[in-house]
Chains A and B, each alone.
Chain A
């Protein structure tokens, strides 16, 4: 069988739309994936019915009684830690390629990098002056 005949046979199989085969494959894959899930769901409805209760639904699961609410709030002051982390983390990420390419860098690139680093240094100075760097 030569290529032309093979292509004809392919077109006969899929009809006129070349995407039909892909759609068929997607449908097959969906059936293949969803059928076991559906069977498991139906089976569990029949032979493993949910039996909720006060203890079973408790939030804590180490045997002790739950005290208080799970929806506690974090202190918003943690944003300072996030900013400090960002300053050093982002700086390190950009400084490494900067250092590698330093030899072949044009003047414009070096100035742009200096501006960037100075911006971050400004952030650090701001945090320093605000007293964030004092621990304890």
Chain B
């Protein structure tokens, strides 16, 4: 429908919608997060779900103890290399459509432990992340902002056409590779399907050498 006509109708008190919008509106207001925290960011996540910040206002207070009932994974905290396979496995066990918020400096990049031998330098090396939140730890307001960003993303998801989400592509894989413990590092050290090393300096120079 034409946007101009739509806003004109809206002014006359006539609300128009599509099935897709209705569906996304329902979906974005009932996101069930997986109840799982990895480090100190989880404390902020818990605070967000409690009375003072009240994540329930966004319909997302139902933290599920099982990945099979969850839509959203909030990776709250440091992902150690020992923990990474479990995180990926949990993500794989969640039903589609599913979303990931990487919360805090550790989850997005390794944070203050980036130089550590046992810390994964960002969970986006293995699973697709929808919203990144910086901060150490991010305040509950930051998580709420990330959540509202995710709601906007869900709202804009088209159900048909080439831009439809992954789970509606019949040939797209439903699971992501679970890394294994190698002699010195996780193997593989990242999933090329979801993450490519950022190129430094000349465009593509690193990609050539890698």
Contact = CB atoms under 8 A, between A and B. Distances in A.
A51 interface: yes
B170 A63 contact: no
Nearest to A58: B93
B66 A51 contact: no
A54 interface: yes
Contact of B68 (A51, A61, A63): A61
A49 B159 CA distance: 12
Given A53-B92, A63-B86, A48 B170 contact: no
A91 B93 CA distance: 49
A32 interface: no
A56 interface: yes
Interface in B148-179: 159, 167-168, 170, 173-175, 178
Grouping DSSP codes into helix (H, G, I), strand (E, B) and loop, the A interface class, with mixed when no group exceeds half, is loop
Contact of B93 (A43, A49, A61): A61
Contacts of B159: 47
Interface in B79-99: 85-87, 89-90, 92-93, 95-97
Interface residues of B, number: 22
Interface in B59-78: 66-68
Nearest to B87: A63
Measured as residues with beta carbon below 8 angstroms from the partner, the interface class of chain A is 10 to 19
B140 to A, nearest CB: 25
B23 interface: yes
Which of B67, B170, B174 neighbours the largest number of chain A CB atoms within 10 Å of its CB?
A: B174
Contacts, number: 47
List 5 A-B pairs, minimum CB-CB distance, nearest first: A63-B86, A51-B174, A55-B92, A53-B175, A63-B90
20 contacts: A48-B97, A51-B96, A51-B174, A52-B174, A53-B174, A53-B175, A54-B175, A55-B175, A55-B178, A56-B92, A56-B93, A56-B175, A58-B93, A61-B66, A61-B93, A62-B86, A63-B86, A63-B87, A64-B86, A64-B89
A47 B95 CA distance: 13
Interface string B98-131: 0000000000000000000000000000000000
B170 A55 contact: no
Contacts of B23: 43, 47
A55 B96 contact: no
Contacts of A61: 66-68, 90, 93
A63 B175 contact: no
Contacts of B175: 53-56
Nearest to B175: A53
A52 B92 CA distance: 10
A49 B170 contact: yes
Contacts of A54: 175
A56 B168 contact: no
